[in-house]
Structure 1
């Protein structure tokens, strides 16, 4: 089957892909300067994703990144999916049929972050706080790594983060080791917490009940795609619910570098991103890729 051959509707899959650590690597080898935050997409992987998209499968990028930091990756992959999930499921975009590459905010989940922010600040007094607003803006108290965050940003006092409508809260605490950070967060009794940890201790808080899985379930319903035709791949704590959801009837793949908690909920574990793990998993699931 060539990439240009369209599959029957009954064979159409929803292919949900995390970005960082799954599609995009952040190494320092060849290609490390491909974009502003040093990410690299393996050309063979990009070709495979594009081929699946052109066959008629619905490739859905599902990420914790903001909209502003997600769409450039979609652009780099050369795909034009109908749906894109960002902000860990709080913002679901839908392609505008009247514009070539424009997306509109189809579903936005928001909450008042005041209680969570006050509670966290009592325990993490030196942390840096931010909220991503429902309209796509971003308010922050101190500089934090911005590679995955919105372009429209404004520095404000902590008090101005309270009482807004936020699609997520971001807390970064460089003064805490990861173990200390997780211990503190575990005692806070927050309703819904997902973690995305890089070189610093980083916490994302989504609206109650909102995850990548909750957004993808809505997308799958709109597309009429059965759970047995779901493929999902990820590597982070914020992918756990997505992998659990996909594993119920479909294919849930944890990247090889994922922590044990992530690997435990997946249907299978593939190689690390440096080993081309996602490409291997896609070829296993879709033999037409060769």
Structure 2
């Protein structure tokens, strides 16, 4: 069955390792859109990093951002849906995590940017004007995403320990090679927000083709009728997906789509 919607992660999936979208991939995405099939970017990136690739979203102009916490209307430059973390619940989880895992540092993403604790060592350039303060000072209004980082624990150990502490009260995902956890509101995943978007469009799960590479893509790949793990994907993603695509540096998403739509 030809899909009615394509959902794709960005980093490690659609975007090459150098951060680019190749001309071949851009061309295939445009052709799929011209065929009447929306290509929806579904990413853990915050809005400010997703804007770099909005030229490729097509006329439908929708992107699922921050692991499902935000649906952004590109054409109108405004949120179509927000699913934030309540600050009371978020701060309680911060306290419990830090008690169980001393050395945990936090940052918080709002629609207007990121705030970071002084101890949070960001691996990317911090935007001009980003605030540095305690999490209690930063997390006073609902936030799209809470970030937790540990400089001593390994990624898997940090994730496993945090899952035990949080016990399902928030959603924890991991899409980094470092010990960085991305934490969302209860029930908020790429999959649950994509499902809401598809319901508005009258598209069923079995009509969706999804691509991903990291554990934060697992719910989306499980929900979609057809799922592809990239050849460079995390082992858990390769095991879960129903198909494997060539790597992101081989334009794997575009090559699969070209085969599906233009055999």
Normalising by the smaller structure, the TM-score range is: 0.7 to 0.9
Could you tell me which residue of structure 2 aligns to residue 36 of structure 1? none
Partner in structure 1 of residue 72 of structure 2: 93
- Once residues 242 and 34 of structure 2 are traced to their aligned partners in structure 1, the CA distance between those partners, rounded to angstroms, is 26
Give 1:201's match in structure 2, choosing from 166, 172, 179.
179
How big is each residue's C-alpha offset from its partner over 1:217-252, in whole Å with a ceiling of 9 and x where there is no partner? 111111112333211101011100100110xxx211
Q: Quote how far apart the aligned CAs of 1:205 are.
A: 0.6
Q: Which runs of 5+ in 1 are unaligned?
A: 1-9, 27-31, 33-38, 97-101
Which sits farther off after the overlay, 158-167 or 254-263? 158-167
1:53 maps to what in 2?
33
Counterpart of 2:105 (choices 128, 132, 139) is: 128
For 1:89-113, what per-residue CA distance to the aligned partner results, in whole angstroms no more than 9, with x for missing partners?
Answer: 00011244xxxxx421011011221
Query: Partner of 2:144: helix, strand, or coil?
Result: strand
Q: TM-score, normalised by structure 2?
A: 0.88
Whole-Å separation in 1 of the counterparts to 2:49 and 2:194: 19
- Map 1:165-176 to 2 at 5 A: 165-176=142-153
Quote the residue 1:24 is aligned against: 15
Segment drifting more, 77-86 vs 64-73: 77-86
Q: Does the C-alpha gap of structure 1 residues 272 and 126 become closer, same or farther in structure 2, counting only changes over 3 Å?
A: same
SS at match of 1:193: strand
* Partner of residue 43, structure 1: 23
Distance in 2, matches of 1:105 and 1:20, equals: 22
Aligned length: 256
Larger deviation, residues 174-183 vs 42-51:
174-183
**Higher relative contact order structure (alpha carbons within 8 Å, sequence separation ≥ 6):** 2
CA separation of 1:44 and 1:242: change in aligned 2, threshold 3 A: same
Unaligned segments of structure 2, at least 5 residues: none
In the other structure, the counterpart of 1:73 is 53
1:15 and 1:81 mapped to 2: Cα distance?
12
Within 2, Cα distance between the matches of 1:271 and 1:129?
A: 35
Normalising by structure 1, we get a TM-score of 0.80
- Name the CA distance, whole Å, in 2 between partners of 1:143 and 1:276: 32
**Where do 1:1-290 residues align within 5 Å?**
13-26=4-17, 32=18, 39-75=19-55, 77=56, 79-96=58-75, 102-111=76-85, 112=87, 113-133=90-110, 135-141=111-117, 142-146=120-124, 153-191=130-168, 192-198=171-177, 200-246=178-224, 250-286=225-261, 288=262
Deviation at 1:139, TM superposition (A): 1.4
Does the CA-based 8 Å contact 1:69-1:150 persist in structure 2? Answer: no
Q: Deviations over 1:20-43 (max 9, x none)?
A: 0001122xxxxx3xxxxxx12222
Q: Secondary structure at the match of 1:169?
A: strand
